[in-house]
Amino acid sequence: MSERDADLNSFLNRAIDDLGAAMSAVLVCIGDELGFYRELAKGALTPLELAARTGTAERCVREWLANQAAGGYVSFEAAFDRYSLNEAQATCLAGRGGVHDLPGAYHVVEDFFRVKDRAVRAYRTGERLPWDAHQPSLFDGVERFLGATYRTHLLNHWLPALDGLVEKLRAGASVADVGCGLGTSTMLMAEAFPGSEFVGIDTSAAAIEAAQRRASEHGLRNVRFVLGDAETYQEGELDFVAFLNSLHSMSDPAACARHSFHQLRRDGHALIVEPRAGDRIEDNLTPVGRMYYAASAMVCVPNALAAAGLKIGAQAGERALEEVLVEAGGFTRLRRVYDTPLSMVLEARP
């Protein structure tokens, strides 16, 4: 085989693998919606048994299981025609509220195809594609995927990593969660620190309405949600501002940083959580970088097209964030305090 043919076959195999993954995304959503992963996490089942437990058609279930086994999402025992989830698969796939919630991310993919025509128009004309133009599956998917990270790390690792912040929150602090989405992070903090006052701010009316409803259902009296802009919100003197996976998708991140700098007390704190990334494109040509560049190309940058400010995208490295927060935003100190496989966590101080 010639070198040219070898290169062709190598790329074709890569593309076929990607195509199989892309075509299987909807099947992950189906398995999540119908409870297939949840039942398989309880123990090995035949296709007939899984269909009986979930009230579904066995022949369709059999094909779904074969697809998932081929992709390594379920485990197959050929001798018994049984399928199951191993511990790692169950951790990532078997339900909401866990350490990881991969099906949530697959519901984001569902939105991408539904807004494709609007995205094409944004690419051609520079017309903004705002969050509220997306489908509910985007909001739900982002909340599930990121919410799992927040439940694991926000209270246990990220807040304690900020100098003296937990003590201030226990004593009673004023906090703004900017770009709060459906409010998961805001409510986690409000529940953990009942003596502090929290406000979640977002430009999406649908997200704010949903967050208000959820806070009411949880009986949280020290949190409220307001429709607002990260460059103009007015909440008085704040002790703490959080940008959780939100700064990179704002129209003018530097202007947002400057505004929050002026809203903070002189001994205040800013928490910035961003997708983990290096400073150069070549540093981010990885599976994680590929995923985040896709989100940036379909959601974050099209949403930020409304203003002429710097668009940093979802793979902004630490150097770009320093430019936004310190050189343009007014903060005097920036340090990286924590990392996860998918996130980098920084503290900025006035």
Tokens of 61: 């279930």
DSSP secondary structure code for residue 45 in this structure? B
Give the number of C-alpha atoms closer than 13 A to the C-alpha of residue 85, restricted to the C-beta side: 20
- 105-349 domain in CATH 1.10.10.10? no
Confidence of residue 251 (pLDDT cuts 50, 70, 90): confident
* Three-state helix/strand/coil letters over 213-244: HHHHHCCCCCEEEEECCCCCCCCCCEEEEEEE
The chain-wide mean pLDDT, for the chain, equals 93
Confidence of residue 97 (pLDDT cuts 50, 70, 90): low
List the CATH code of the domain at 3-94: 1.10.10.10
**Whole-number Å distance between alpha carbons of 185 and 191:** 10
What residues does each domain of the chain span?
3-94, 105-349
Burial class (CB in 10 A: 0-12, 13-18, 19+), 74: buried
Q: Give pLDDT, residue 4.
A: 85
- Taking Cα atoms as reference points, which of 217, 236, 214 lies closest to residue 225? 214
Tell me the CA distances in angstroms from 7 to 20, 212, 285, 286, one per residue in order: 20, 54, 19, 20
**Whole-number Å distance between alpha carbons of 236 and 1:** 70
Burial class (CB in 10 A: 0-12, 13-18, 19+), 11: exposed
Which residue type occupies 291? M
Confirm whether 3-94 and 105-349 share one CATH topology. no
Q: Going by DSSP bridges, is the β-strand pair 75-77/82-84 parallel, antiparallel, or unpaired? A: antiparallel
Confidence of residue 209 (pLDDT cuts 50, 70, 90): very high
List, for residues 311-323, the tens digit of each pLDDT value: 688 899 999 999 9
Residues 6 or more apart whose CB falls under 8 angstroms from that of 19 comprise none
Query: Would you say residue 167 has pLDDT above 80?
Result: yes
Give the number of C-alpha atoms closer than 13 A to the C-alpha of residue 39, restricted to the C-beta side: 22
Residue 345 CB neighbours (<10 A): 23
List, for residues 12-23, the tens digit of each pLDDT value: 999 999 999 999
- The answer to whether residues 276 and 285 touch, using CB atoms and an 8 Å cutoff, is no
- The greatest distance separating any two alpha carbons of the chain, rounded to the nearest whole angstrom, comes to 71
- The answer to whether residues 146 and 203 touch, using CB atoms and an 8 Å cutoff, is no
DSSP secondary structure code for residue 186 in this structure? H
Confidence of residue 262 (pLDDT cuts 50, 70, 90): very high
Q: Which helix H or strand E contains 336, and what residues bound it?
A: strand 333-339
DSSP secondary structure code for residue 201 in this structure? E
Residue with tokens 């999540």: 32
